[in-house]
Amino acid sequence: MRTALPALLLLGTWATVNTQPASAAGAPAPTAEAPASASLLSAMQHDFGLTKSQAEARLAAEKTATAVERKAKHAAGSSYGGSWFDAGSGTLTVAVTRGADTGAVRATGASIRLVQHSARQLDAAKARIDALSAPAGVSNWYVDTKANKVVVDVVTAHRNDNDVRAFLAQARRTGPVTVQHTAKAPQTLAAGTVGGDPYYTGNVRCSIGFSVYGGFVSAGHCDQHTGAVYGWDHSYVGNFQGSSFPDNDYSWVNVGSGWWTVPVVLGWGTVSDQLVRGSAEAPVGASICRSGSTSHWHCGTVLAKNETVNYSQGAVHQMTKTNVCAEPGDSGGSFISGDQAQGVTSGGWGDCSSGGETWYQPINEILNRYGLTLHTA
């Protein structure tokens, strides 16, 4: 159930906050920002077991790492092998192959690890796996920059299936591949119609992601191709203007009929409602939080990028994996790091009682695809 009526209105109109427009060169770096809110620091203290000063230091280090990552990638050039943020040391590590200008990379402020395969080589191997037809027993696959390999996750109960074995044999021929096992297969997080939730379409309830000028973005699998979208009070909001699922998992809805957009992500009383000031992409290892209509506000860490997730409806590409929990009805909801929008919730496994993993569709891809402008504070 929801709380007071003002909070309901806030969700129906505000819970999909977007950031500034993304250019062809990528999202702009975060500029001067207000200090982190007390509620955000409190949430990080709770979810990560930090003191207030440790939470402040981590946010500052992640902001620095986000800026360093772009410079280091450019300095490494074709030798770039990926990068990741280490919360313990507060530093960004950049993987490079032999022949890299290590001095130029170190000059950006990054640490260096020498690896065998470049990011370009690993991405090419993953792309060859993307071209294969994956059976249901294969959960997902992605480039693990720390391991310098492509990781394929297989549902433990199906690891001996003939079709899974055949798929893995093909995958191993594409390049440096390793296999891991997971307990459950990922699922999208839409839900049947339930009273008091952010928006409805057909017989599905989903969550708003971020506001754009003229509407909001959400998950593609939420589009039931009935056209109309209704808010928490079942009043007409607008229509799906575009969506893609599978292959991608994004959509956007125009907003009218008395509804409006503002640059805010709902904190559900766990934290204060969060302003959105940009869409600079956080590195692997950074903290990230998710807002959704079922399980509300939860935080965790970015685990991997450019991952392919094999849902029962088909594979979805270029996803980002986190260890933030989610539940049915959270689909489309906001992933945010600090005050920077990251993406919209797609699916996952587990729940917010036992834990699990959740994937999101990166926000800048959605903006570029539809030529949208994010609504920022």
What is the C-alpha separation between 213 and 165, in angstroms, rounded? 48
Q: Which of 352, 229, 215, 205 is nearest to 289 (CA)?
A: 352
**Which among 331, 334, 337, 346 is annotated as catalytic?**
331
What is the C-alpha separation between 247 and 254, in angstroms, rounded? 23
The tokens 């300095």 sit on which residue? 75
What tokens does 61 get?
């280090």
**Which among 47, 117, 221, 287 is annotated as catalytic?**
221
Q: Which of 71, 111, 75, 107 is nearest to 95 (CA)?
A: 111
What is the C-alpha separation between 50 and 186, in angstroms, rounded? 30
What is the C-alpha separation between 354 and 185, in angstroms, rounded? 15
Determine whether 249 is an active site residue.
yes
What tokens does 239 get?
């229509």
Burial call 161-199: b when 16+ CB within 10 Å, e when fewer: beebeebbebbbebbbbebeebeebbebbbbeeeeebbb
What is the C-alpha separation between 218 and 342, in angstroms, rounded? 12
Q: Residue 319 in contact with residue 307, Cβ under 8 Å? A: yes
**Which among 249, 273, 330, 339 is annotated as catalytic?**
249
Dihedral sign of CA atoms 18, 21, 26, 31 in order: negative
Q: Residue 292 in contact with residue 322, Cβ under 8 Å? A: no
Question: Could you list the active site residues?
Answer: 221, 249, 331
